[in-house]
């Protein structure tokens, strides 16, 4: 299950996590003054809110997304059919 991260085109835009072309999550910087990052996992696509948490850095936020996908959704064959 290789996760491909897209680079944001403008500063402050989210980095999206994709598996075989299917969007599975993203990380983005928040407006909070303490520099929090939002990590969001979208196991059912954009139709449902999914799961999220806040992290102190972009690297930690990506780690949360990747860890959730590794342990809770090891088989993503149905996800790639949703394109």
Q: Is residue 68 part of a domain?
A: yes
Q: What is the pLDDT of residue 30?
A: 92
Against a cut of 0.75, is the pTM above it? yes
Q: What is the pLDDT of residue 26?
A: 94
Q: How many CB atoms lie within 10 A of CB 73?
A: 15
Q: Is the dihedral of CA 48, 81, 71, 60 positive or negative?
A: negative
In 1-83, at which residue ranges do the beta strands (DSSP E only) sit?
A: 4-5, 15-19, 22-29, 37-41, 51-55
Residue 83 pLDDT more than 50?
no
- Report how many domains make up the chain: 1
Q: Is residue 16 part of a domain?
A: yes
Closest CA to 17 of 26, 9, 8: 26
Closest CA to 60 of 68, 71, 72: 68
| Residues 5-51: tens digit of each pLDDT | 998 888 878 999 988 788 889 999 998 889 899 999 988 767 778 89
| Residues 40-74: tens digit of each pLDDT | 998 876 777 889 999 999 999 999 999 998 887 65
Q: Is residue 83 part of a domain?
A: no
For 27, the domain range is 4-78
């Amino acid at each position: 299950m290789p996760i491909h991260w897209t680079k944001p085109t403008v500063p402050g835009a989210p980095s999206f996590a994709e598996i075989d072309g299917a969007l599975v999550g993203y990380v983005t910087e928040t407006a909070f003054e303490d520099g929090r990052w939002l990590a969001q996992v979208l196991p059912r696509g954009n139709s449902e809110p999914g799961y999220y948490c806040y992290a102190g850095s972009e690297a930690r936020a990506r780690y949360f997304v990747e860890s959730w996908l590794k342990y809770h959704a090891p088989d993503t064959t149905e996800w790639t059919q949703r394109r």
